[in-house]
Structure 1
Amino acid sequence: MLRLRFYATVYAADGISLIAGFLLTGYLAFGDVGDPYAVDLLLIMIPLYSLLAFQTNAYGLDMIRRPRLGIYRALVSLAATAMVILLVAFFLKASEDLSRIVFVGGIVLAAGSIAVLRFVMANLGWRTLHASPVNELVIVDGAYYPETLVSQVLNAADHGLTPNPRDPFMLDRLGQMLENVDRVVVACAPQRRAQWALLLKGTNIQGELLSLECEQVGAIGVGKLGDRATLAVSCGPLDLRSRALKRALDLSVAVPLLVFLAPLFLLVAFLIKIDSPGPVFFLQKRVGRGNRMFLMTKFRSMRIDACDSDGARSTSEDDDRVTRLGHLLRKASIDELPQLINVVRGEMSLVGPRPHALQSLAGDKLFWEVDDRYWHRHACKPGITGLAQVRGFRGATREKSDLTDRLKADLEYLSGWSIWRDIIILFRTVRVLVHPRAF
């Protein structure tokens, strides 16, 4: 949270620089601190600059670790903003309404102010964040680790952490411990390195092994911990900028939808109460981001005495557990709508790999027993819909291939994420809300 507040402060400082630069230029040129030319330009400049600055990653760790790079990205964003405004003014033949003095002077003053403030704040950031903007954790699993400046060291045995991909509860404990960590380094015995590498790939942070060997673990880079080399084996699929964009999309869609659908929620709740005794909502433990568990919310579609809290049995077409109303809710995917609450709470996203119950089976095997890469899909928030769903991989998983098809789509989504892909998946989801495999 401290780093996020620092980012917000830098963002505010950029905005103040723009406002001060243009208003001061308007005052010097026309003697009016509220000069209309300056105000009109600011109404366009601020949102456009903000968008371009996020796109160029002007707000991130690099602005603290490499201040000059952060300043460069901010100034490039400002220059791009100016070019866009000039092009639009030219094509709309509105250049005559543009005060050249205010425009050029405002850009120059704003650029100088942004550069100075960012340099000062980058140095302030190092002191504020205790000389390290990254929250690091070392997990020691029966191996030597060097004396370092890392403030957090955790003994795996003391917390019941063993690299066992068949133990979802251990993965949940690990995920809870890594929730606010940016980088984790594991010091373990050689025979455990491949197992730890497998588990770290399912986290949403940078994971490294304290080791000189890189075979078996699929290293993606080399790092340092003190005077020892580490092998990077995982990294979050979304950086801070991407997570901010994705969260903004989630809230901008989920909150209005919840308000708009409130009458439908009340109607469905009333019908559920009439149709069968029991609660309106069905809460089920699912595996979320970083392999942490959460309670997913759905409209109850089964008899209360037949609800499957562990998800060991997939729902079939003529499932006797489903109520009369439940069949309709499932057919139209209405039972999934309360997951918008999970989205607002930050436990889920609109788009992402679908969260699964702990005892879900593909054929006669648990999901994570079919493919070791299963845990990798939890490197981002689970979604109400996803790439697998819009490709038709939905419904019961009677065969192992039913899971592997979904897993391939989920991993493809993680490796090629973009905000535009999320938007496209949302539009494609509308076409498959009613589908033949919804039971």
Structure 2
Amino acid sequence: MYRVDPQKAITDHATRQPVDQEQRLTPQAEAIIAAPVESSLSGTVITGVAQVAEAALLALLGYGIHAAYINPNSDAVYIPVILTTVLLANVVFNAVRLHRISAYRTLYSQLGRIIGAWTAVMVVLMVGVFLFKASDLISRFWLITWLLSGAGTLVIYRMLLRILVQRWTEQGRLKRRTAIVGGGNDAAILIQQIQAGASRDINLLGLFDDREGERSPDEVLGHKKLGRVSDLIEFARRTPVDLVIVSMPLSAEKRVLDMLTQLWVLPVDIRLSAHSSKLKFTEKAYSYVGELPVLDMADRPISDWNLVFKAVFDRAVALFALILLSPVMIITAIAIKLESKGPVLFRQKRHGFNNELIDIYKFRSMYTDRTDANASKLVTRDDPRVTRVGRFIRKTSIDELPQLFNVLKGELSVVGPRPHALHAKADNKLYYEAVEGYFARHRVKPGITGWAQINGWRGETDTIDKIMQRVNHDLYYIENWSILLDIYILVMTPIRLFTSKNAY
């Protein structure tokens, strides 16, 4: 997979368009943005849940037959056999591609293959029983009954699964909102392949191409050209885009690299259409969108099961932290109220995932008549706008604790790049003007704490070097994310609070 070097991208490329001033797009693009969008479902998560449910059904069925008809004292023999058989069945089902969304949609093909695969697994079990001379330990009645009832259960399960997947397909919830980069004849061939093998998996929004004239007409096979590649960045920030398919030959290296350097700031999967390459790779080199073979160029940083794991982790930690720290929050609220007039909480607009504007909550640390909602002036040492209580809660980051409610709402993560104020500046330059590729840090949800903060880059950002260091650390976190890294950052955060000297 191609990876953009964050350091090089920060030096070479910037998206200079201010995100709070919407870029003008074509009328066709604006119409797509204005249309309502149905929430989509992850095919990877669906197949994962389907596999677990199927394995559980087979295991429970096997054990149920054993419990009903066989001596229960033989659990020590049957349970390992059942679990091993179910694991083997899952491997075989995946080997014959039975756990794909496209397979779930079929009827006779799916049922025929699932019965054949299950029968093959049970034959292997029977041969194993014979070879290991375990026929005295394993009941033939149990084997035959599990084989037949398992086949019937799989048929019923797969038919119900097909009905569910077909319903989601008709609702468009399994389609990935897709944009094509490229135009002309290459794009026409790609669209034909999508229509032939991936029409139920792709919702094709339109095309983006930097070329003009005959090489890139305004419409290809009924699909409009929505703008240039740079317009795709603004388009994807204002309406969900899941996938970008590049219709360019690998020989057009400069065009491909320029496109990737522009689009790497977006939280989307980028794929290169295999039809545009004259090179023929091995089967394992390709991934598939429906039946369309593609080459992976870049992935959304956190997606599918990782997105589920992180969401569960965030909410569990936030809920536990709110319970544990509620006395601290109550005392802080009372102290703020006693020292100065005004609300206890302060709300501020900041950029969230993919530059979406969100309201984050903080304990008020400034005098009410001196608050700076846009953070146009950075807080400095002994800043007269900050109250005595405010200095303490800013130094200890207690002022950030109300953001745990943002985490429960799904707007923030516990760990991630810190959300910056809209008009925050370094050396009198807005952050996105000071740092090339700044918006790439918004490919994941922002967090209450992050990799930059535990490495000493919290507090005042009065120089360009300081904000560049923050962004570099944020990009490192995005490229190397794991739940273990989140846990490490979470554990180190309170430790670093006692050694930090930059927060005022």
Fold match by TM threshold 0.5? yes
Q: Which amino acid aligns with 2:68?
A: Y
Q: Which amino acid aligns with 2:395?
A: K
Query: Would the alpha carbon gap of residues 292 and 27 (structure 1) be closer, same or farther in structure 2, given more than 3 Å must change?
Result: same
Partner residue in 2 for 1:175: 237
Q: Which amino acid aligns with 2:176?
A: E
Residues 183-219 of structure 1: CA deviation (Å, up to 9, x unaligned): 245899x999888645532332214589979xxxxxx
Partner residue in 1 for 2:280: none
Worse-superposed segment, 149-158 or 199-208: 149-158
Displacement of 1:301: 0.6
User: Does 2:490 correspond to 1:438?
Assistant: no
Displacement of 1:36: 11
Query: Would the alpha carbon gap of residues 121 and 204 (structure 1) be closer, same or farther in structure 2, given more than 3 Å must change?
Result: farther
How do residues 60-209 of structure 1 correspond to structure 2 at under 5 angstroms? 63-65=100-102, 123-124=162-163, 127-130=166-169, 134-139=174-179, 146=188, 148=195, 149=199, 150-153=202-205, 174-178=236-240, 181-185=241-245, 197-198=260-261, 200-207=263-270
Partner residue in 2 for 1:20: 61
Displacement of 1:243: 1.2
Query: Would the alpha carbon gap of residues 324 and 26 (structure 1) be closer, same or farther in structure 2, given more than 3 Å must change?
Result: same
How far apart, CA to CA, are the structure 1 residues paired with 2:180 and 2:100?
Answer: 31
How far apart, CA to CA, are the structure 2 residues paired with 1:24 and 1:176?
Answer: 55
Rg (Cα) greater in structure? 2
Displacement of 1:427: 0.9
How do residues 219-234 of structure 1 correspond to structure 2 at under 5 angstroms? 234=298
How far apart, CA to CA, are the structure 2 residues paired with 1:120 and 1:226?
Answer: 20
- TM-score scaled by structure 1? 0.69
Q: Is there any run of 5+ residues in structure 1 with no aligned partner, and where?
A: 76-99, 214-220
SS in 2 for 1:261: helix
SS in 1 for 2:346: strand
Q: Is there any run of 5+ residues in structure 2 with no aligned partner, and where?
A: 1-38, 105-109, 119-136, 209-217, 219-223, 278-284
* Match 1:310 to one of 368, 371, 374: 374
Displacement of 1:392: 0.8
Partner residue in 2 for 1:278: 342
Asked if 1 retains the 8 angstrom alpha-carbon contact of 2:376 and 2:425, the reply is: yes
How far apart, CA to CA, are the structure 2 residues paired with 1:362 and 1:320?
Answer: 20
Q: Which amino acid aligns with 1:30?
A: N
Residues 146-196 of structure 1: CA deviation (Å, up to 9, x unaligned): 4654545269999x988769xxxx978743411xx43245899x9998886
Q: Which amino acid aligns with 1:333?
A: S
User: Does 2:336 correspond to 1:336?
Assistant: no
For the aligned residue pairs, the C-alpha RMSD in angstroms reads 4.8
How far apart, CA to CA, are the structure 1 residues paired with 2:290 and 2:99?
Answer: 21
Partner residue in 2 for 1:369: 433
Q: Which amino acid aligns with 2:501?
A: P
Query: Would the alpha carbon gap of residues 273 and 346 (structure 1) be closer, same or farther in structure 2, given more than 3 Å must change?
Result: same
Asked if 2 retains the 8 angstrom alpha-carbon contact of 1:198 and 1:373, the reply is: no
Worse-superposed segment, 234-243 or 330-339: 234-243
Displacement of 1:117: 7.3
- Number of aligned residue pairs: 377
Query: Would the alpha carbon gap of residues 198 and 300 (structure 1) be closer, same or farther in structure 2, given more than 3 Å must change?
Result: farther
Asked if 1 retains the 8 angstrom alpha-carbon contact of 2:365 and 2:394, the reply is: yes
Query: Would the alpha carbon gap of residues 226 and 126 (structure 1) be closer, same or farther in structure 2, given more than 3 Å must change?
Result: closer
- TM-score scaled by structure 2? 0.61
Query: Would the alpha carbon gap of residues 258 and 330 (structure 1) be closer, same or farther in structure 2, given more than 3 Å must change?
Result: same
* Match 1:264 to one of 309, 318, 328: 328
Displacement of 1:328: 0.8
SS in 2 for 1:372: coil
Partner residue in 1 for 2:5: none
Displacement of 1:269: 1.6
Partner residue in 1 for 2:131: none
Q: Which amino acid aligns with 1:339?
A: Q
SS in 1 for 2:377: coil
How far apart, CA to CA, are the structure 2 residues paired with 1:65 and 1:226?
Answer: 6
How far apart, CA to CA, are the structure 2 residues paired with 1:277 and 1:195?
Answer: 54
Worse-superposed segment, 257-266 or 203-212: 203-212
Higher relative contact order (Cα pairs below 8 Å, separated by 6+ residues): 2
Q: Which amino acid aligns with 2:321?
A: L
Partner residue in 1 for 2:128: none
Worse-superposed segment, 192-201 or 269-278: 192-201
Q: Which amino acid aligns with 2:169?
A: H
Query: Would the alpha carbon gap of residues 154 and 279 (structure 1) be closer, same or farther in structure 2, given more than 3 Å must change?
Result: farther
Query: Would the alpha carbon gap of residues 172 and 164 (structure 1) be closer, same or farther in structure 2, given more than 3 Å must change?
Result: closer
Query: Would the alpha carbon gap of residues 225 and 351 (structure 1) be closer, same or farther in structure 2, given more than 3 Å must change?
Result: closer
Query: Would the alpha carbon gap of residues 378 and 115 (structure 1) be closer, same or farther in structure 2, given more than 3 Å must change?
Result: farther
Asked if 2 retains the 8 angstrom alpha-carbon contact of 1:212 and 1:229, the reply is: no
Equivalent pairs: percent with the same residue?
A: 30
Displacement of 1:109: 5.6
Partner residue in 2 for 1:93: none
How far apart, CA to CA, are the structure 1 residues paired with 2:376 and 2:233?
Answer: 19
How far apart, CA to CA, are the structure 2 residues paired with 1:161 and 1:305?
Answer: 45
How far apart, CA to CA, are the structure 2 residues paired with 1:432 and 1:252?
Answer: 23
